[in-house]
Amino acid sequence: MRKLFIGLFMIVLAAGSLAAEKITVAFIGLEASGVSEASAGGIADTLLDALINTKRFEIVERERLNTLMEEQGLALSGCTTTECFVQVGQLAGASKVVVGKVSKVGETYTVTVRVVDVFVGKVELSESAESNSLDGLLSVARDMAARLAANIPVVGTVVSVSGETVKLDLGRKEGVKEGDTVELYRLGEEYYHPDTGAFLGRDIEELGEAKITRVLADELSEALYSGDVPPVTGDKVRLGGRIETGGHEAVTTTTTTVRPRGKGPGFGITLSAPFLFPINDLYGDYEDFTTKGIQFGGSLMVDFFIAPIFSLGPYFGLLIYDNVIECSDLYEEDTFLEMLFGLGLKVRFVETGTVRPWLFAGIGYALVSCDFYVEDYDLGDSWSNSFTGGSFGIDGGLGVDFWLSNSFSIGLGGLFHYNGVTEVEYETGETCELNDSLYSVGGLLDIGIYF
């Protein structure tokens, strides 16, 4: 009996999951213009019944809307603007508001219906039809309900992102099929009137398109994204039409077109932490030369994007490290400071995606200073001194960045450092030639912040 109960329970769950997801709609009704209120109400009732029969909508009817408005000290009868329609939808917990008008001009009767998207604050869809009689409008209203059901876009959410692959909470329930194209967008800041508190609209960032590659479940599908702006979990997805501003008195919502990262004329700041190993032959004949530690430092580059994958800007690099020489007749400790001032160039091999390989070069003037301490065992003496020098220098690297959002990335890479200085000047004024230039190889960790 227990197995039978579980089986029946699973069947009920499966049947429930196959039911099409309904869109919650606040139905305000149809305004009368040139016709009686009773005639407009009859057409509204026909349209309402037809909308319910499409089985696509969960309807919040006018009586319930009146109650909700009265609780807020408002009146539904005075609601004639898109701002007010959005407020009604918010109070009703609806994602759409349906409102319209029945009018007569001459001998022609017209019914017009508008669908307002509550989250976006815009008229999403407008339908109108004409007839030579009020009775003819009854048939028109039924046809209009079918068109609304077909044309109102299905809206979902991005539930995960992996590179160019996104998973959506749209699946077989919503009629999604392989090969369908969906549009991704991001809901931005909401705007409210400072005096009345009325909702005015919100920013919408159009991201790009994605093509459905697999339908995984009733409420899950996978798509390949091809837009410029990397999507993130929580972004919205639309199947079945772009939201446009239609009709009169529509809210003018600011639509922000955000520059994809990697596109000019924006800029960013890249901070790097290099760790390097010297490969130069600076000390010549001293075979017992050792490095006390790894070369550590930091670098800063301001990226100005001048092409989709190319940026350049001022670059500053810094290295600090110790060297030790110890043999039978000598002991020496050196503390080096190297700085590179110049121009940084960074080329990214791809414009979009979470993973973006890059090639980097920082070219400019390299300074070096060194404080050293020497003990000469043969002479029984010790002394300290320092020197400075400067020449052409370059930092070059190859690596990959992982873009965690439109404004932040972390990366790993390999780095080659070269300081061409061969002649230095001691603090006493004497000059000396180094046995070799300063160069080293290693890796780096970088962080990118973009504006």
Question: And the tokens for 438?
Answer: 């300063």
Percent of the chain with pLDDT over 70: 83
Confidence band of 39 (pLDDT split at 50, 70, 90): confident
Strands (E), 236-354: 236-239, 267-278, 290-291, 295-307, 310-326, 330-348
Residues 412, 409: Cα–Cα separation, whole Å: 10
pLDDT surpassing 60 at residue 17 = no
Residues 35, 38: Cα–Cα separation, whole Å: 8
Mean pLDDT of the residues in the chain: 79
Handedness of CA 35, 41, 46, 47 (dihedral sign): positive
pLDDT surpassing 70 at residue 6 = no
Looking at CATH, the fold of the domain delimited by 267-450 is given as Porin (2.40.160)
Residues 138, 47: Cα–Cα separation, whole Å: 8
Residues 273, 344: Cα–Cα separation, whole Å: 16
Instruction: Answer whether 272's CB lies under 8 Å from 299's CB.
Output: yes
Q: What is the mean pLDDT of residues 14-38?
A: 71
Among the ranges given (70-79, 228-237, 417-426), the one the predictor scored with the smallest mean pLDDT: 70-79
Confidence band of 287 (pLDDT split at 50, 70, 90): low
Q: What is the mean pLDDT of residues 253-274?
A: 51
Q: What is the mean pLDDT of residues 231-244?
A: 72
pLDDT per position as a tens digit, 322-359: 877 777 777 888 888 999 999 999 998 876 667 889 99
Residue 371's beta-bridge partner residues?
335, 386
- Domain residue spans of the chain: 18-151, 154-239, 267-450
Percent of the chain with pLDDT over 90: 18
pLDDT per position as a tens digit, 183-223: 888 888 877 777 766 666 678 888 889 999 999 988 899 99
Q: What is the mean pLDDT of residues 169-173?
A: 83
pLDDT per position as a tens digit, 119-150: 777 888 888 888 888 778 888 888 888 888 77
Superfamily of domain 154-239, CATH level 4: FlgT, C-terminal domain (2.40.10.410)
93: nearest Cα among 137, 139, 59, 127: 59
Looking at CATH, the fold of the domain delimited by 18-151 is given as Rossmann fold (3.40.50)
Please name the helix (run of DSSP H) or strand (run of DSSP E) that holds residue 16, with its range, or none. Answer: helix 2-18
